Structure 1
Amino acid sequence: MSIAINIEKAVLSSILFNPEEFEKINEILKADDFFSSAHQKIFEVMQKLYDEEMPIVEDFISKRLNNSKLNDVLIDILSANPITNSIAYAKEIKKDSLTRQIQHLSSKLQHQFDIKIIDKISELKNELENLKFIKELKNIDEISSLFQKYDLNYLEVENVKFEYLIDNLLVKNEITMIVARPAIGKSLTTFAFVNMILLNSKVSKIIYLDGDNGLTTIKERKVHIVKENHGDKLIYLQGLKASEFNIVIKNLLKSNLDDILIVFDSIKNFMQGGDRDKNRDVSKVMEILKTLRNNGATVIFLHHSNKPSKDIDELMYAGSSAWEEDSTNAFILKNNKDKKAFIFIPIKMRSGDLKEMAFTYCEYSHTLNQIDLDIAKETNEELEIRNEIIDFISNSKEEPNYSEILNHLMNNGYPKMKSTDVLKNGKDKFWESKKLKQFNKTIFLLIDQNKDFNKPIKIVFENEVRKVS
């Protein structure tokens, strides 16, 4: 039965990750088709939310369940991988349910003859038969000419060169989505990347389609100065009407775009009246981006994230799942104001060795400097704790152990959990642990700091890139 339970979890997980799936699944399944009683109750709640036109999301379901054990099951469902072919899985659940009902009634019939039972068994068997979709299939040889037309070309693939525009972040000739809340720095950091890519001659031309920012913002960010420096290599289109942007895009779709980078800031301005929450409308926009890529372009599009309901870590792109599905790579952008750091977190990695990376913005050169990731994530309070640990280890008569450091921090009013995290993150960077077998204890020692972790890993000047050790 574990297989059946896993199938049920997969179907429920798909609904939670894409509530639009419920309408199709609800046409096949009823709550009592599920083998698990917990799954039955969860599906019943989903049905009630659907009937009341309420969101079929974790918070609403959990509130309606009002049961800790069922909420644990719900969390377990959320950890399951959602599936794309949910209808096939739903049919399998229905098949198992009908089979169980037929077996139960057949057993009952052995002890008691009842024409109603016989009729019910017949009805269930018909329903089971109707689940099967029978169609006549073509012989594979009949479509061989179609395969020859579209089959993968060995030489074409062999001649493709993999290249980064920004190492471990932006891959050339692919589609990258960058997602963040408003005013986090999507446009600022992307335009800095644009400047760096041109400074390092990674592409021959960049076309920046800006549907978000006004002239005041553009002047404040000195976009016009960067544009003047790069001349015709940077085409910056701003303030156009939707119809004018459409004319530009239609012409790009008919052009050879080899060695061209195209930026959409932000993608909501190019929906052509569509709904960003509907797969059908989003897929139309993504087909345009894929055509541009197939014409040779590298495509970056900026997108807004949903407002988190509880915690900032819940940030995810707004709207249909097709935004992520049709992108090659995708990043969530966060901003640590304590460090003035921009942190790019990969959420989809189809091409390239993508890494979580952090940068600071250099206003003078309109570029980004890569910095140590742990330092970039550090809050002022965590920095204070780190310095307190260093002072404590340095001033202790004997090397302290873990408990002594933690007690010292807590006695000075620092939270236990945060102190524990700082101790863990600073290990082998600012301090190291050493086990003393003769005393059966582990002590902490400071590491000589030959490296300044606040110093940029990579500094980008206006005419060169220089590595800094």
Structure 2
Amino acid sequence: MKNIAKNCKKINEIDVDTISNLNIERAVLSTIIFDPVRYEEIAVQLKPEDFYHPFHQHLFVAMEELFKGDQPIDEEFLREKLTQKNQFDEVAFLDIVAYTNPLSNANAYIKEIKAKAQKRKLLDVTTTTKKMVADGNKPGDIAANIMQQIDEISKEIDVEVVQKKIEYMQSKNKKIEKLNQLLQSQFLKLDEEKIILNEIEKLKKEIGLDEAQKWDDNIDDWLDRFDLDPDELENIEVEYLVDNLIVKQEISMIFAPAGTGKSLGAVDIANMSLINEKVERALYFDLDNGDATLAERKIHDLKKQHGKKFRYFRSGTDDVWRVIREISKRDLTNSLIVFDSAKNFMQGKDRDKNKDVSQLTEIFKRLRDKGATVIFLHHSRKPPADQNKFDQIYSGSSAWEEDTSNSFLLINNPHKNTFIFVPQKNRIGKIEEQAFQHKDNHTLQKVELQWAKEDELYEKIRDEIIDFIDTSKNKPTFSQILTHLMEMGFSKNKSNEVIQSGKGRYWKVEKVKKNNKSLFFIIEPETAETKFEIIEFEADNTDKSDKSYFRDFSKSDNCGQVRITANKSKNYVSEQNDYSKIDIPVPI
């Protein structure tokens, strides 16, 4: 303790010249007065308390105030400013203006002023130390306090220098931007343009924009912080919430016309992800549906089933955004977040503008980067009357799809109660077109794709084709079948679609050598590419002798009235499902 007090006494006896140099301070301040343009260059490196003499501190503050007020930094304005504050010192001011030659390079002088200022701050530490010694503090506490103060002084100096330097460069860059704007003026003459270009080049040199820095170890070390880690990438495997459909920890867009079941399908995916333990929690943000709709969909049953694992938010927009902001601060690994529908989260912005849409998708990305799987629902454009429903596109800006990993068009077939997910963009994972049947317990049962697409009109045309082939005296050609269907009032496009998609399923085409015509034949069950064997009927009124019993299978309510298995063939396998009454053939 005595040694500390003894050392403090020695430090306090340091000569003033060791902690200050008034001549250097006067030279720097004089340079600003006689060459005011130099103020910014000097001000980014110094602050008032760096000067030792009190009047020098006041003078530097006055210079800053004049600069910010766009007033001249000269003798008269400085004298007036300091006099108003009762801080003017005639003798000290004359000592400064006596230096009539501005410094060509003030950096060495500035470094000296900063070094002296730092020494004074370190000297202040001794005052605190001395007081702590006198107050009887423990040596360990005194030493810790000394180290803390020294560390703060060091950090303060580093941060201030960087901050001032950036402010200086930003101010110069703003001047460059304004000058570049002037170059666009139609009133600018050639000689005036040259003056502006010269000034731009001068400003660029002042802040180093015209200099190419060397490539060295510093830049390599810095780039290592952002560079791709090959070992980390090599071990990444694509995971799915729904196999070959919804990729985990990515952003997926599902779009469809209004009223086609987007919300229902998304809730089913959330429920199945929880049941199958693909995620630990699901957060559903719904700004689209009312209470009656939620009650009809029995969302309350899912809440009771999953508890806090299934969160459903449908209150006011402000409350929803409060929740979103809060969860974005958390680790969202193994979380599914659904936005229903995206347009309601635009906060008054335009869904047709890339900039506005990107502000929302940036939030989706932030959630994804925190570990979440994000699904957002969106609307498709209203298609023309003659457009195939499978050719629809999403509404609004291209940014909706550009900022997503994968996107899907959702087609609902109410006749079969099926959802068909049609991939529109596949950036991540192996995504496939798939079909599912919605179940009352909010699950999706995978079904055979072509069967899922067959709507009521399809079945009518298919049955008409089967009857026409079966009753024709001679097996018909494509043209004869198409002509017959059009005479029955069916459209040409829809008729052609059914004829082509039914090949290998309901009928086959064989070329007859005699007249080189392609004729259509009904496929018998034992020769079909996709073979169905009727095992049992739960409510069976079907005539089993009817060769076209395919129609009875397809007409059955949501495919749940019959139990069917598929025999193996060259292109198909049977997919078993524990909670289904049917086994649906799915292409390999």
Q: TM-score, normalised by structure 1?
A: 0.64
Distance 1:251 1:324 in 2: 26
Aligned to 2:341: 266
Distance 1:160 1:333 in 2: 29
Aligned to 1:31: none
Displacement of 1:298 in angstroms is 0.5
Displacement of 1:439 in angstroms is 4.1
Secondary structure of the 1:369 match is: strand
The correspondence for 2:267, drawn from 166, 184, 191, is 191
Aligned to 2:422: 345
Secondary structure of the 1:323 match is: helix
Aligned to 1:326: 403
Distance 1:136 1:308 in 2: 56
Distance 2:412 2:456 in 1: 14
Aligned partner letter, 1:335: N
Aligned to 1:115: none
Aligned partner letter, 1:357: Q
Aligned to 1:367: 443
Name the CA shift for 1:461/1:267 in 2 (closer, same or farther; >3 Å).
farther
Conservation of the 8 A alpha-carbon contact between 1:360 and 1:368: yes
Displacement of 1:304 in angstroms is 2.3
Q: TM-score, normalised by structure 2?
A: 0.52
Conservation of the 8 A alpha-carbon contact between 1:369 and 1:458: no
Deviations 1:307-355 (A, max 9, x none): 3466555643232221111100111223334444332222211112222
Please tell me whether residue 220 in structure 1 is matched to residue 288 in structure 2: no
Please tell me whether residue 151 in structure 1 is matched to residue 227 in structure 2: yes
Name the CA shift for 1:243/1:168 in 2 (closer, same or farther; >3 Å).
same
Aligned partner letter, 2:322: I
Q: Which has the higher relative contact order, 1 or 2, with Cα contacts under 8 A spaced 6 or more apart? A: 1
The correspondence for 1:283, drawn from 358, 361, 365, is 358
Distance 2:499 2:422 in 1: 23
Aligned partner letter, 2:435: A
Conservation of the 8 A alpha-carbon contact between 2:380 and 2:394: yes
Name the CA shift for 1:403/1:242 in 2 (closer, same or farther; >3 Å).
closer
Conservation of the 8 A alpha-carbon contact between 1:368 and 1:460: no
The total of aligned residue pairs comes to: 333
| 1:59-70 aligned within 5 A | none
The correspondence for 1:246, drawn from 317, 321, 329, is 321
Name the CA shift for 1:135/1:325 in 2 (closer, same or farther; >3 Å).
farther
Distance 2:461 2:224 in 1: 65
Conservation of the 8 A alpha-carbon contact between 1:458 and 1:465: no
Larger radius of gyration: 2
Name the CA shift for 1:466/1:376 in 2 (closer, same or farther; >3 Å).
closer
Distance 1:340 1:467 in 2: 17
The correspondence for 2:279, drawn from 203, 209, 212, is 203
Distance 1:288 1:184 in 2: 26
Name the CA shift for 1:138/1:373 in 2 (closer, same or farther; >3 Å).
farther
Aligned to 2:371: 296
Aligned to 1:235: 311
Distance 1:434 1:237 in 2: 59
Name the CA shift for 1:269/1:406 in 2 (closer, same or farther; >3 Å).
closer
Secondary structure of the 2:313 match is: strand
Name the CA shift for 1:330/1:185 in 2 (closer, same or farther; >3 Å).
same
Conservation of the 8 A alpha-carbon contact between 1:341 and 1:358: yes
Q: After alignment, is 418-427 or 434-443 more displaced?
A: 434-443
Name the CA shift for 1:278/1:399 in 2 (closer, same or farther; >3 Å).
closer
Name the CA shift for 1:428/1:280 in 2 (closer, same or farther; >3 Å).
same
Name the CA shift for 1:291/1:443 in 2 (closer, same or farther; >3 Å).
same
Unaligned runs of 5+ in 1: 1-133
Distance 2:274 2:578 in 1: 12
Conservation of the 8 A alpha-carbon contact between 2:447 and 2:584: no
| 1:377-396 aligned within 5 A | 377-396=453-472
| 1:393-408 aligned within 5 A | 393-408=469-484
Deviations 1:216-266 (A, max 9, x none): 211110011012112222122221x33322222222222111111111112
Distance 1:396 1:247 in 2: 69
Distance 2:344 2:462 in 1: 44
Q: Percent identity among equivalent residues?
A: 46
Displacement of 1:359 in angstroms is 2.8
Displacement of 1:281 in angstroms is 2.4
Name the CA shift for 1:392/1:311 in 2 (closer, same or farther; >3 Å).
closer
Deviations 1:337-390 (A, max 9, x none): 444433222221111222222333222x22223333333333433311211211
Displacement of 1:150 in angstroms is 0.6
Unaligned runs of 5+ in 2: 1-208, 526-530, 533-549, 561-573
